[in-house]
Structure formats: structure tokens, C-alpha cells
Amino acid sequence: MIDVALRDLSKWLAATPLSHTIQTHGWIIPALQTIHILSVAVVFSSAVLVDLRILGLLQRDAPLTQVARRFIPLIWPVLVILLLTGSLLIVGEPKRSLLNTTFYFKMTLLAVALVLTAGLQWSLAAAPNFWNSGSGQLAGKCAAAVSILVWCGIIFAGRFIAYTQMG
Amino acid sequence: MMHALSDLIAYVEGSALADNIRENDFLFPVIESIHVLTICLVVGSILAVDLRLLGLASTDRPLSRITRGILPLTWCAFLFAVASGSLLFISNATKYLGNGFFIAKMLLIGAAGLNMAIFHFIGAKDLPRWESDARLPLPARLAGGASIALWIAVVACGRWIGFTMPVG
């Protein structure tokens, strides 16, 4: 049922003028992928730098609230570029992602990563002292480790989309 | 000299390791994923330093604190990017060497290293005098701008290799 709908959607998208333009100009897809990867670099590095601060591995001379304030706000506008370039890549080659389980796995991991990021940003604003308490530190370290792993999973899944597409 | 080099390339390309990477359907994408992941960390973390050099971010923090807090991640990721990149390279060495975007990428990485070395040894000689200023001297700003441009070009070339070099 969903399969059929996604196949129809893919067919419809592939027939749009925008998709046709992307397909017939060979430079557009690598250019979009380049912007997409550069944006991943910004978002991923920002998240990892904050996570490494939570884990006490880098930037210990600056308080967590300050490190988080420097890096997390950058994630949201760059995420918009990611969604935009990602959407254009789907319009250009709809079947490659929409009919590919790896793509949905990547989107699920992305949702988890964003919830963790938003949760951290929110909690640092609402209860900054929580992160200095014993249980807060432990919870923070677990969340930071999970965050790094999930972001790594997103990048692996992103690369594997190219290897798991149907036909 | 050239002869010895081509012998060496033929040797690594014919090695069991290169053969495994080439033939195993799983190994190549895994190494490629590690390469993308570590390049993202290199580029993203260097960008944080470059934006400070340009006076566009973290202007309330002295430069040496930024570099001490961030560059360990950059170097660690760079090490893994070189290791994973070398494994991808030996699997199809001859084809990579014949690809213009691969050659360009190597030259651009060299240029980024040179840019950093020049700034480190010449531009940053009197660093303690100005490193806490929000607006840094022109050599520092130039080094930051050049670094951003070079790393963007490195990523673009990397992506274009995949579209101009049929692997298999």
C-alpha cells in the first residue's frame, strides 16, 4: 500500500520539470552533494565539539553553557540548507531514496540526533545547574556518547544509500 | 625514479589488501563512510578556527584557546581521513592517478597545509600581542579566508572524483 504510493510519488517526481533539469545537467547532483556534505560537516562538527565538551575531552577551560552557546545555534540554519539540498537530490533521483530502506533509517537517526540536540539546548537554558550535579553529569555523558554515535550512523547511512538503491 | 614509482603503485594495487577492498562489496563503502565522516570533522572543526581568524565567531575568546580546544579533534580526524583515503587509493591507484579531480584534491590539501604552515611560522609570530582582539591582523584574516576556500574546493573535488571515475 505505502510501497505503491511511494512508487507513484517517485514516478511523479521524476516526471517534473525540476527533476528533468537536475537529471539532464550532469554537474547539478555533484554540486548539491558537495553543499550537502559541507553542511553535514558544520552540523556534525558542532554537535561533536559540544559532545566532547560534555565528555570532558576538549575545551575544558570553557564552561559547557558557553561552548553550547557558541556551537548549537549554528546547527538549525544549516539544517535548513541540508533539508533543501537533500530534497533537491530526492527530486533529481526519487527512487534512489524514497524506495530505499537505508534512507528511512537515516531519517530516523536524524530525528533522534535532533531531539538530543534540542533537548540539550533547552535544558541548558532552563536548568543550567542540572548539568553540574552528579546525576546530571552522568546523564549528560551518556547522551553525548549516544549523540556522537547517532551522528556517525547518519553519515554511514547517507553513504550507504548509494549502495543499497533498488535496480 | 618515475619507473620505481610506477612499480610501487603496481605493487600496492596488486596487494592482497587492495584486492580485498576492490572485491568486497561491503568493505569499500565502509571505508568510504569513514573517509566522509572524518573529512566532515576536519572541515567543520577547521571552519570554527577560520571563522575566529576572520573575526566572525567566538571573538570573545583568544585565538590560542580556540586552537587548543579544537585542533586536537581536527588532527585526530585528519589522521583517520588520510588512513581511510589511502586504503581507497590503493584499491584503484592507477585510476585515481589518472583522474584530474583526484590530483587537484591532493594539490589543494597540500595548499591548505602550506597556508596553515605559513600562518603558523610567519603570520602568528607575534600572536600573543593581538590574539585577544576581536579583529585580527590582515595575515590572520587572509589565512582564515584561504583555508575556508581551499577546504570547500577539497570537498568538491572529492565528490567529483566519484562522478568521473568509474570504480570496479
> Do A37 and B155 lie within an 8 Å CB cutoff?
yes
Q: Which of B36, B151, B12 is nearest to B84 (CA)?
A: B36
CB contact under 8 A, B40 and A40: yes
The answer to whether the beta carbons of residues A32 and B44 sit under 8 Å apart is no
Are the C-beta atoms of B119 and B139 separated by less than 8 Å? yes
ipTM of the complex: 0.94
The Cα-based distances of B54 to A33, B49, B85, B133 in angstroms read 26, 9, 30, 11
A29-40: b or e for each residue (b if 16 or more CB lie within 10 Å)?
A: bbbbbbbbbbbb
Residues of A in contact with B155 (CB under 8 A): 34, 37-38, 41
A59 touches B: beta carbon within 8 Å: yes
A25 touches chain B (CB under 8 A): no
Q: Which residues of A87-106 are buried (b: 16+ CB within 10 A; e: fewer)?
A: ebbbbbbbbbbbbbebbebb
Q: For helices A101-126 and A64-92, give the axis angle rounded to 10 degrees.
A: 150
CA–CA separation, A7 vs A4, rounded Å? 5
Spatial separation of the C-alpha atoms in residues B54 and B51, rounded to whole Å: 5
Residue B155 Cα, gap to closest chain A Cα (Å)? 6
Residue A99's SS3 state is coil
**What local confidence, expressed as pLDDT, does residue A135 receive?**
83
**pLDDT, tens digit (0-9, with 9 covering 90-100), for A116-164:** 999 999 998 888 787 778 888 899 999 999 999 999 999 999 999 999 9
Q: Position of cell 575568546?
A: B61
Residue stretches of chain B with pLDDT short of 50:
168
A71 contacts B48? CB cut-off 8 A: yes
- d(Cα B65, Cα B52) in Å, to the nearest integer? 11
Cα separations in angstroms, B154 against B104, B106, B112, B144 = 8, 8, 9, 15
Domain with B78 in it: 2-164
Place of cell 586552537: B67
If interface means Cβ-Cβ distance under 8 Å, which residues of chain B face chain A? 25, 29-30, 32-33, 36-37, 39-41, 43-45, 47-48, 57-58, 61, 65, 68-70, 72-73, 152, 155-156, 159-160, 162-163
Quick: pLDDT tens for A49-97: 999 999 999 999 999 999 999 999 999 999 999 999 999 999 999 999 9
Q: What is the mean pLDDT of residues A12-37?
A: 97
Three-state DSSP state, B99: coil
Residue B98 in grid coordinates:
589518472
Mean per-residue pLDDT for A105-126?
95
Q: Where are the extended beta strands (E) located within A31-141?
A: none
Cα dihedral A58, A63, A66, A67, rounded to 10, equals 10
DSSP class of B25: T
- Residue A167: its pLDDT value, please? 55
The residue of chain B nearest to residue A151, with distances taken between CA atoms, is B37
Which residue from B minimizes the CA distance to A48? B41
Map grid coordinates 595575515 to a residue.
B139
User: Residue type for A162, please?
Assistant: A
For residue A73, the chain B residue with the least C-alpha distance is B57
Alpha helices by DSSP H, B15-53: 16-23, 27-53
Whether the CB-CB separation of B64 and B131 falls below 8 Å is answered with yes
> What is the count of structural domains for chain B?
1
Q: Distance between the two ends of chain A, CA-based, in angstroms?
A: 20
Q: Which of B33, B69, B70 sits opposite A155 (nearest CB)?
A: B33
Q: By mean pLDDT, which of A6-15, A51-60, A99-108, B121-130 is the weakest? A: B121-130
